[in-house]
Structure 1
């Protein structure tokens, strides 16, 4: 290649104003171990990969209006460093190879998952052909109930119900024992709980749909003899802002508690000596325990997702285990971890151990109290 041709190619590269293809999703900054990363997702293939803050800074400015000189100036103002031309070229080559630049050829869409996987003992089955459309229909049907004027009274009623149960645990434990001795009442309530858990999963999908999420699957998952519904949200981590992620994660437990409100009202309206009151108290205790246990910040519960989003972390539990493993080798082994990461992983390790011990102690205490009644 002649010097003139080389200069022409260099000039063309500097004048090039690249743009991301429409629909590319870029996630917020999250802490993964010692590194801060951003997730980027292809709109067709669904493939995701991670980039660091500097790469994210460049990628987020690829809107078709900026060339190399524009990006270099902004990069220098942000990081006090000059963006090497080789790094610019390499990043654009990577984005082009992955089909993330406008004009890149469309990759083959992912193969749809099989309708059923697994065996009689363990597996899953899709029950809805178009999960996103189904979630959209449910969202449109329930949209009036998702507004603040409806949700604020429901939240207040739920908090009042939880406060009533916590204020007198002995009464509600006695009611649980009474319920366990009445199979004709216990069996229908167990069926109600099963449907409540199914609605719990649908609530995640409807809440995600409310904020623009994509629901990819609705189906049944079984581990013999148990069978539960599941609802998969494809772009949950890319929803804009913290609030939508927290709402989606908490939606299931919220629905479980809202479904208990008719039982709470019925219990409150009965006379204290009414024989129907104890089993209703037992239903409230079991239902509240089931819903609130989902908010415990341990994987794979919803509370773990809520905590992870609040802290802005990814893979919090496994990364904490990795940090503790390295920490046992000495301070030098975790020198790459920033102070915030060290505080988060240490605090979560202590919290997780305390929660497990508290759960064991609480379960043993409840069983003991029930046996002594």
Structure 2
């Protein structure tokens, strides 16, 4: 206490008020620094109790964290749910009676959203090119974009020579072959929770391997395929299933969207034959790690993962050509829902017109209190910068950190 009293006495001996303020700021610099470091670390790595609170809240509401794809309507009535879907762990339950589209885990609005993303009419930010690689039997291109609220989103185009859309569709749907062939070496375990043999809709549980410094991740995924001619729209997304208990390890991923458009394209041989197959993939997820770290991991590991897909597909083609029986997952891929693209487009345009007017009425200005965390961070960093020396490099570093961590929707 005596040391602190002596320091304060020295501060108040300054002849001017500005001098007193400057000395007080210098004295408080370590406290500002400790507060900022603690805030940033806490922001990046939530403690377990905070994650548990979020998990309990999500379970209580019976809703997933919002995703870019449109969600199914609210919970159906108990009688309807019992007639449509029964959850059993770990064995699957086949739906014996036809289910209404709205009651399924993946339904028509999900198809409409995927079509808008494929046609780049979803209203999202522009895509930024990331990668372009070409090998003798396939070509790969990738793009990314960062919405204001949500994790980074990725789009890729992979064109396989001498591949049919039917086989490529089955290949990506076949969880058994993913593990057997190890082309997807992150998948540790899978099980079917629900299935509808009429529409091909499934709910599956995945456990995926993560690096040693992260716990493995658990996914509860709804998926379904629509067909328009030889073009397939394959939707997979996270779905809420409170009946599947949460565990601390593996950690549940509530925000997951990974969907494909698989279609025939002209071969690059130049003969005009439609013997190649393009896979347009749209993917984003919140893995529970800072998005900046996740982006770095994707950029570093993307090409290594992509190179494993093509040998896996060729092995799958060989097995099918040899007459090996297909798995139940590939059989479910055959139970896709047929639709006419022109009719869906007309319905989609009507829905967009209605939703535009509704959104215009629903939009309200955000209250300034919603930005309190950003105000606190930026103000704290400004104070910290002012207590340091007057060098431009130091202040540029501090203010750059403030912009990085206070930017909307980025970690």
Smaller-chain TM-score range?
under 0.3
Q: Normalized against structure 2, the TM-score is what? A: 0.25
Write 1 or 2 for the structure with the bigger share of helix: 1
Q: Normalized against structure 1, the TM-score is what? A: 0.27
